[in-house]
Structure 1
């Protein structure tokens, strides 16, 4: 994993009222911040991901080119690197770790960007899945700062369907009496293997499975695919960390504090926003994004075509990756055409 740094925030008060003393935000950077501090891009991490998991989209000649841009990848609270149940001392250790909202994550990231780097404008905020939820929150919380936003395979707020699915995942981790309400000593592999198996049907589309596309990933059969990928995918993760991040996603709602709810929040976005849902994403279907983005003044939906479902935004299929990179390049190129005052007015 690429080396990371830690940004500490003393007495960080969460939306729920608890205080992390301090909150620790892990992050990695790629490229060099220019003198004008005008080439910064923020690319948060998703559920059960760390900054190295974002590197598939970063590199010379890529859309996120560190030779042109300064890319900041902050690790989400609960991922085991930033403040999490597994690394926080008492009184908020392990099962007592407080609930952290998506807005809490964005508030901490804002302090990192402004206080550590002195950045006042972001060329782009983008992210996959739960990082895309953070992207939406950035555009709502800091409309004066975000020039463009690209959430892919994501949504602005948790749907009822998503919350139902998260409830099943939570049950997979907590049903065993040995879970001991989060005060386990050593989490046995069966919990995490079951968790992965519950995940398994949702990552890719029905048609993807029907066409046995798991063979493209080197698996000989469906059982081989589930055992070789999903049952091992979460081994090594701390269950309390996973639960903390699930709570954040389950309660995501950019319109929670507004009388007009999500629609009012979306209408407040000043950034150019291009949403990239997967054509057959079972979590965040395109029709949900088309309904949401119609409220964004400068919003657009581009559907990632194909069978790869939610994993279309994970960098596992070259055609999907090319589609995402083309959208990023388009948005950044459009921003390059604008002059300084025009870009500031967005």
Structure 2
């Protein structure tokens, strides 16, 4: 049984001017929309994440409390639930699937929020990693609609170093002889495992490995952690879907549109919503200094560093201490007038 809904978008013209026929967004809602339609939180997913992966931050007594808020979790395009290479009919399937940008994701999420639910104000947009990039995009694209944004573990633009890492993940996957330019007969599992190994040193920090913090996850040795976790982590995904999401991340830039023409500072300055920007202190994908620069160009932004040894993955709900810190900051933020 599916635990999510589908919103049909029809034929969509993407930012690239390519057409994606019969596009659709998979989404899940939590809580009840109040009569004023003023209790809305939008919480986009991240690379290789689906709506269930966001649920660690949702629950009674938490900042994202479904007893108070109507929480919409739209699945990112390419994640296997929304339109993706694996579920799109030919000739746009598999390696023929077009590039979908962060701008495309948010523009079509906006269509879901406004046309499906009739919502005109959003109390908060929040997201981690590529979900954070979508959060920044919401803030700059719809400043009159979004009251607060809280991106954590992600930036408003994918910097060159992160682009190189993402390209490395793709290269590891595509080195599998079964890849066949994306038209494989069965999943390239060797490449998928290699992608996991390539991600492993970037997902967590040097301190995480040095102090063997993976033992708290039940792995007794480093070798067991790599074999039993990282070699398996992407096996449940379609390979083309992963590449599609990484391409979205590589091109991520909130100013890459016809309004801003890559004027990054201008796009940041348009984010007039109250903003709580929370980088992880040891994040190797999206280092804190990038967020510090962004906050300087946002008129109503607070920079809040999250001290953690869990690297980029401080924001996925695995480490209870980090989860409590994020949740507490969000609670305080939502109480601001």
Q: TM-score, normalised by structure 1?
A: 0.95
The equivalent of 1:332 in structure 2 is 334
> What is the deviation of 1:317?
1.0
Please say if residues 2 and 52 of structure 1, whose CA atoms lie closer than 8 Å, have aligned partners that are also in contact: no
Please say if residues 176 and 188 of structure 2, whose CA atoms lie closer than 8 Å, have aligned partners that are also in contact: no
Q: What SS class does the counterpart of residue 10 from structure 1 fall into?
A: strand
Q: What SS class does the counterpart of residue 273 from structure 1 fall into?
A: strand
Q: What SS class does the counterpart of residue 134 from structure 1 fall into?
A: helix
Please say if residues 25 and 83 of structure 1, whose CA atoms lie closer than 8 Å, have aligned partners that are also in contact: yes
Please say if residues 76 and 82 of structure 1, whose CA atoms lie closer than 8 Å, have aligned partners that are also in contact: yes
The equivalent of 2:129 in structure 1 is 129
> What is the deviation of 1:21?
1.9
Q: Which runs of structure 1 show a deviation greater than 6 angstroms over 4 or more consecutive aligned residues?
A: none
Separation in 2 of the partners of 1:43 and 1:262? 23
Separation in 2 of the partners of 1:8 and 1:319? 39
Deviation digits for residues 90-134 of structure 1, max 9, x if unmatched?
221111100000000001100000000000000000001000000
Give the total of aligned pairs.
335
> What is the deviation of 1:227?
1.0
> What is the deviation of 1:255?
1.3
Within 5 Å, which residues of 2 pair with 1:292-311?
A: 292-311=294-313
Please say if residues 5 and 28 of structure 1, whose CA atoms lie closer than 8 Å, have aligned partners that are also in contact: yes
> What is the deviation of 1:77?
0.3
1:269 aligns with 2:271: yes
Please say if residues 176 and 190 of structure 2, whose CA atoms lie closer than 8 Å, have aligned partners that are also in contact: no
Q: TM-score, normalised by structure 2?
A: 0.97
Aligned match for 1:282, one of 265, 268, 284:
284
Deviation digits for residues 11-64 of structure 1, max 9, x if unmatched?
211001111221110000000000000001000000001000000011111110
Structure 1 residue runs of 5 or longer lacking an equivalent are 336-346
> What is the deviation of 1:175?
2.0
> What is the deviation of 1:177?
3.3
Taking a change above 3 Å as real, the CA distance of residues 2 and 312 of structure 1, as seen in their structure-2 partners, is: farther
> What is the deviation of 1:2?
6.8
Taking a change above 3 Å as real, the CA distance of residues 260 and 26 of structure 1, as seen in their structure-2 partners, is: closer
Within 5 Å, which residues of 2 pair with 1:124-203?
A: 124-203=124-203
Please say if residues 153 and 280 of structure 2, whose CA atoms lie closer than 8 Å, have aligned partners that are also in contact: yes
Separation in 1 of the partners of 2:61 and 2:110? 28
Q: What SS class does the counterpart of residue 303 from structure 1 fall into?
A: coil
> What is the deviation of 1:178?
2.2
Separation in 2 of the partners of 1:185 and 1:260? 40
Deviation digits for residues 226-259 of structure 1, max 9, x if unmatched?
1111111111211100000000000001112325
Structure 2 residue runs of 5 or longer lacking an equivalent are none
Within 5 Å, which residues of 2 pair with 1:63-102?
A: 63-102=63-102
> What is the deviation of 1:260?
6.3
The equivalent of 1:344 in structure 2 is none
Greater CA drift, 207-216 or 169-178: 169-178
Q: What SS class does the counterpart of residue 336 from structure 2 fall into?
A: helix
Q: What SS class does the counterpart of residue 150 from structure 1 fall into?
A: strand
Separation in 1 of the partners of 2:288 and 2:2? 33
Within 5 Å, which residues of 2 pair with 1:38-53?
A: 38-53=38-53
The equivalent of 2:120 in structure 1 is 120
Separation in 2 of the partners of 1:178 and 1:10? 33
The equivalent of 2:107 in structure 1 is 107
> What is the deviation of 1:176?
2.7
Deviation digits for residues 188-231 of structure 1, max 9, x if unmatched?
32111111010111111101110111111111011111111111
1:15 aligns with 2:15: yes
Q: What SS class does the counterpart of residue 283 from structure 2 fall into?
A: coil
Q: What SS class does the counterpart of residue 11 from structure 1 fall into?
A: strand
